A and B are shown apart, each in its own frame.
Chain A
Amino acid sequence: MPKVLPAGVAAAAFASAMKEFQGVVGADWVFTSDADVDTYRDAYSPLWNEPNEYVPSAAVAPETVEQVQALVRIANRYKLPLYPVSTGKNLAYGSSAPCYSGSVVLDLKRMNRVLKVDDKRNFALVEPGVSYFDLYRYIQERGLKVWIDVPDPGWGSPVGNALDHGVGYTASPFRDHFGSHCGMEVVTPTGEIIRTGMGALPNADSWQDYRYGVGPWVDGLFGQGNFGIVTKMGFWLFPQPEAMGRATVSVSRYADLGPLIEVLNYLEDSMLMNGMQNWSSPAGGGVGQPKPAEFSALMANGWPTDEQIEAYVRAHGGVAWQVRLHFYGTEKIIRATCECAEERLRQAIPAVTFELDEVLKLPPTPEQARTHESQPNADHLGVPNMITYASMSRHPNDPEPPQGHLDMFCISPRTAQGIMQINRILYETERQLSLPTNASPFRVPNHWYHRCYMMPGMMTPTYRDDTPDRSTKNRRSRQIYETALKNLTDAGFGLYRTALGMQDLLVNQYSFGDHALLRFQEAMKDAIDPNGIVAPGRYSIWPKRLRDQRRPNGLDAPVAALNQKEGGKA
């Protein structure tokens, strides 16, 4: 018997459903033993081994879309929730664990076919089980002249990552993985197959060329949603550029941040600069790196004034902000664009330093490839890797280090004010929670999405069984994460996605018009998925029969209705 069954599904009915599942996919591909089902747990869960940890009842792994249809029809008969995952390795956001305990994980890893890669029209069509490593290898083995854009987890799936609104590192249109998709095939909650965009037109050869087709464009419903199971997805690819340029811009004053961002916005929005910005603050030091004693002094009496910060910068190397810019194109264009960028920057900030560090001709030589593929540059060259994970692998001074973490990134407009406001909120949150000061006036944004910044929030640690006081620590982790989430969203800085278990809380903050958006989504859910079998609870979209499962005020707060009192902010 599974550890937990979904509401309304009796043990006998569950067993019967599993037998029917076996009839569809074969006995080898229905997983019900503890040893197998445990592989679908969230290793970073802040509820690890606690009664309310999100765990599945079973898993089933289809190989074809027809099998997915058949499984969905069976699930409808038993009202048995299915939770689709692609490669299921989205650590820090829930991995393979479902939003609703007792759901059966619909593991799509066996659907791992690269259906098409076209390096004349520059697109790919893949199934959900294809990983970035797989797609990269497919392209390399055939010598195709296109790049993929990769996120931090090279073991992830382009389909899964895009559907979770994941991001990457190359040129701006491609870093937005959902934004650069074109065309989907979806099994609906009632078991039909739909194809979006031009895929709906029989005989059309433009499914991966024109995304809208005619009528309302529904693809957005399937991102962070539960309106269907995506079984194929097209992606626009980056034609292999001739060169990549990297330039470093440095400014001396803390107050230069605003003018610097304004020029970068111009360069980016006018499409002169198509690569990513990598920000740092040499004076402020890196996140998580030891800070000099003077830094503690700077923060000792509350948030420092601008004058104090400027003095600190002058005393610590005199470079307040630094941003490494990336340019893709031909060498001539890159060099000309850099000249233009430098001129613009100098007009705005006369003391700016602009250095063109490198123009790397592509494809790289084997020697360059070895160098670049083993460094963070791999991301900017579209080479899948696990390098970011390596940065989390060592804890030389902590005998009981965290065993996981919950990711938190919030959306900021591309302004100095937004960045500074978020840093200040994080600082106040640390004081509110009596945490050591980690926030700083020098924390810098990430530039994955090209029309906004994503600021790191509280990367909250989690623990598993071999930490003696794990439950206490995890409870504290939940408190930290939830407090930071609320403080940021109260000020209008929303997270772009969130960890498993925190989705109700996050969605509850998006409350305009008394949660009109969520009510609209729920109305659609009830119409499209009347039995509520596809991923109930994902991003707080609960089917009618399970709406009492919503935890809009946090995992340790009593279950309650949406926060009506604070809702309706306009």
Chain B
Amino acid sequence: MASRPRDPAIAPTLIGRRSFLQAGASAAVMPLVGIAHWLPAPPAATNSASRIQFHKVLFDRDHPAALAFGRAGQAAGLPVEPVGADVTALWRDLTLRWRQERVAMAGLTTEPVALYLQLFAQDAGLRLVFRASHTPLSDGRVRHYLSGPRATLQHAALLDTGEGWPLGSLALLCRCAANLAAKTALTRTSPPSRAPAFPQERLVSWVLAPVARNQYGHNI
């Protein structure tokens, strides 16, 4: 796992004081203290050579669930960064970065932002290796539609934690391997949240990673 000093990007001045406090309220009922327990061990301690190191882990800067995701990511030492609806600046940054190196990205964002980043990334030779949409249902549950490596989706139960699903989502991303060959899909529904309801807005968690061509090769 890439590590970097705790990033002051997750600061009230950047993500908005109100949003930050909302996130704090939501996260208070989440097992944030135990986030390290949720996340997989660092690569050095595992045999998962194919685990992805992220250049950035983006989170929507306005949605409380995404803010909780960002806080948990920061706590875990991930290179988290907030993102709004306008991806222009991010595009400029990533275009230059990807010209030097095909670095992987992950995030929990709105669906359009996820799509735009996917289209950016494809030009750089990256592929969408994991995607999960998180749709709030009227009864307070959240429906998750997941598509990704079979080995990653085996851990989908991490999402079964009511309002803790953003952390479960983060844990899934951190378990993701850049493997398109064994891709599958499933739907899962989290139990109702006991915390104040999240906004009725679908979010998407995703992983964009370079995939070695010989992994899926030519089929002719």
Contact of B115 among A30, A33, A43, A397 (CB under 8 A): A43
B127: chain A residues at CB < 8 Å are 35, 39
Name which residue of chain B comes closest to A388, CB basis.
B86
Size category, A interface: 35 or more
In whole Å, how far is B99's beta carbon from the nearest beta carbon of chain A?
Answer: 11
Contact of B87 among A1, A30, A386, A391 (CB under 8 A): A386
Contact of B119 among A14, A15, A27, A89 (CB under 8 A): A89
Q: Is B102 an interface residue (CB 8 A)?
A: no
Taking a contact as CB atoms under 8 Å apart, the answer to whether A465 and B145 are in contact is: yes
In whole Å, how far is B213's beta carbon from the nearest beta carbon of chain A?
Answer: 7
The interface residues of chain A, by DSSP majority, are classed as loop
Taking a contact as CB atoms under 8 Å apart, the answer to whether A398 and B135 are in contact is: no
Taking a contact as CB atoms under 8 Å apart, the answer to whether A393 and B95 are in contact is: no
Q: Is A32 an interface residue (CB 8 A)?
A: yes
A451: chain B residues at CB < 8 Å are none
User: In whole angstroms, what is the CA distance A398 to B201 when docked?
Assistant: 6
Taking a contact as CB atoms under 8 Å apart, the answer to whether B123 and A109 are in contact is: yes
User: In whole angstroms, what is the CA distance A39 to B84 when docked?
Assistant: 24
A15: chain B residues at CB < 8 Å are 220
Contact A390:B85 (CB < 8 A) given known A35-B211, A39-B122: yes
Contact A28:B92 (CB < 8 A) given known A33-B218, A396-B199: no
Q: Is A495 an interface residue (CB 8 A)?
A: no
Interface stretch of the complex, out of B34-42, B69-77, B105-113: B105-113
Q: Which of B84-140 contact A (CB under 8 A)?
A: 84-88, 91-92, 95, 110-113, 115-116, 119-120, 122-123, 127, 133, 135-138
Q: Is B5 an interface residue (CB 8 A)?
A: no
Q: Is A238 an interface residue (CB 8 A)?
A: no
Taking a contact as CB atoms under 8 Å apart, the answer to whether B216 and A394 are in contact is: no
| Binary per-residue interface labels of chain A (359-398) against chain B in the complex, 1 for a CB within 8 Å, 0 otherwise | 0000000000000011000000000111101111111111
Taking a contact as CB atoms under 8 Å apart, the answer to whether B201 and A35 are in contact is: no
A18: chain B residues at CB < 8 Å are 218, 220
Interface size of B by CB at 8 A reads 40
Q: Is A155 an interface residue (CB 8 A)?
A: yes
Q: Is B48 an interface residue (CB 8 A)?
A: no
Name which residue of chain A comes closest to B115, CB basis.
A43
User: In whole angstroms, what is the CA distance A14 to B147 when docked?
Assistant: 30
Taking a contact as CB atoms under 8 Å apart, the answer to whether A393 and B219 are in contact is: no
Contact A33:B202 (CB < 8 A) given known A390-B86, A391-B85: no
Interface stretch of the complex, out of A72-80, A228-236, A399-407: A399-407
Q: Is A545 an interface residue (CB 8 A)?
A: no
Name which residue of chain A comes closest to B202, CB basis.
A399
User: In whole angstroms, what is the CA distance A399 to B135 when docked?
Assistant: 6
Q: Is A116 an interface residue (CB 8 A)?
A: no
Name which residue of chain A comes closest to B136, CB basis.
A399
B213: chain A residues at CB < 8 Å are 28
Contact A398:B200 (CB < 8 A) given known A390-B86, A393-B112: yes
Taking a contact as CB atoms under 8 Å apart, the answer to whether B86 and A387 are in contact is: yes
In whole Å, how far is A13's beta carbon from the nearest beta carbon of chain B?
Answer: 11
Most chain B beta-carbon contacts within 10 A, residue among A30, A109, A385: A385
Q: Is B15 an interface residue (CB 8 A)?
A: no
In whole Å, how far is B140's beta carbon from the nearest beta carbon of chain A?
Answer: 11
Q: Which of A205-247 contact B (CB under 8 A)?
A: none
Q: Which of B165-220 contact A (CB under 8 A)?
A: 180, 185, 199-202, 211, 213, 216-220
Contact of B218 among A27, A133, A393, A397 (CB under 8 A): A27
Contact of B200 among A35, A374, A396 (CB under 8 A): A396
A387: chain B residues at CB < 8 Å are 86, 88
Taking a contact as CB atoms under 8 Å apart, the answer to whether A35 and B180 are in contact is: yes
Name which residue of chain B comes closest to A12, CB basis.
B220
Contact A386:B145 (CB < 8 A) given known A35-B180, A396-B201, A399-B137: no
Q: Which of A397-422 contact B (CB under 8 A)?
A: 397-401, 403
Taking a contact as CB atoms under 8 Å apart, the answer to whether A394 and B85 are in contact is: yes
Name which residue of chain B comes closest to A383, CB basis.
B88
Contact of A33 among B113, B120, B217 (CB under 8 A): B217
User: In whole angstroms, what is the CA distance A223 to B116 when docked?
Assistant: 26
User: In whole angstroms, what is the CA distance A466 to B136 when docked?
Assistant: 12
B147: chain A residues at CB < 8 Å are 465
Taking a contact as CB atoms under 8 Å apart, the answer to whether A399 and B201 are in contact is: yes
User: In whole angstroms, what is the CA distance A33 to B119 when docked?
Assistant: 18
In whole Å, how far is A203's beta carbon from the nearest beta carbon of chain B?
Answer: 36
User: In whole angstroms, what is the CA distance A197 to B211 when docked?
Assistant: 44
In whole Å, how far is A12's beta carbon from the nearest beta carbon of chain B?
Answer: 10
Contact of B91 among A1, A30, A133 (CB under 8 A): A133
Contact of B145 among A32, A385, A466 (CB under 8 A): A466
Name which residue of chain A comes closest to B109, CB basis.
A393
Contact A154:B202 (CB < 8 A) given known A15-B220, A43-B115: no
B199: chain A residues at CB < 8 Å are 396
Q: Which of A25-57 contact B (CB under 8 A)?
A: 27-28, 30, 32-36, 39, 43
Q: Is A19 an interface residue (CB 8 A)?
A: yes
Taking a contact as CB atoms under 8 Å apart, the answer to whether A395 and B202 are in contact is: yes
Name which residue of chain A comes closest to B131, CB basis.
A466
User: In whole angstroms, what is the CA distance A466 to B133 when docked?
Assistant: 7
Taking a contact as CB atoms under 8 Å apart, the answer to whether A32 and B219 are in contact is: yes
Contact of B135 among A1, A32, A87, A400 (CB under 8 A): A400
A391: chain B residues at CB < 8 Å are 85
In whole Å, how far is B209's beta carbon from the nearest beta carbon of chain A?
Answer: 12
B200: chain A residues at CB < 8 Å are 396-399
Taking a contact as CB atoms under 8 Å apart, the answer to whether A30 and B218 are in contact is: yes
Contact of B85 among A87, A384, A393, A400 (CB under 8 A): A393
B216: chain A residues at CB < 8 Å are 33-36
Contact A403:B86 (CB < 8 A) given known A35-B211, A466-B133: no
User: In whole angstroms, what is the CA distance A136 to B165 when docked?
Assistant: 42
In whole Å, how far is B8's beta carbon from the nearest beta carbon of chain A?
Answer: 21
Could you list 19 A-B pairs, sorted by A, with CB under 8 Å? A18-B218, A18-B220, A33-B216, A33-B217, A35-B211, A384-B88, A386-B87, A386-B91, A386-B116, A390-B86, A391-B85, A392-B112, A393-B85, A393-B112, A396-B199, A397-B201, A399-B200, A399-B201, A465-B147
Please give 20 more A-B residue pairs, beta carbons under 8 A apart, in addition to A389-B86, A399-B136.
A1-B220, A15-B220, A133-B91, A373-B88, A385-B88, A386-B88, A387-B86, A389-B116, A394-B62, A394-B110, A395-B201, A395-B202, A397-B200, A399-B135, A399-B200, A400-B135, A401-B201, A401-B202, A403-B115, A465-B185
Ordered nearest first, which 7 A-B pairs have the shortest CB separation? Answer: A390-B85, A393-B85, A466-B145, A390-B86, A393-B112, A466-B133, A15-B220
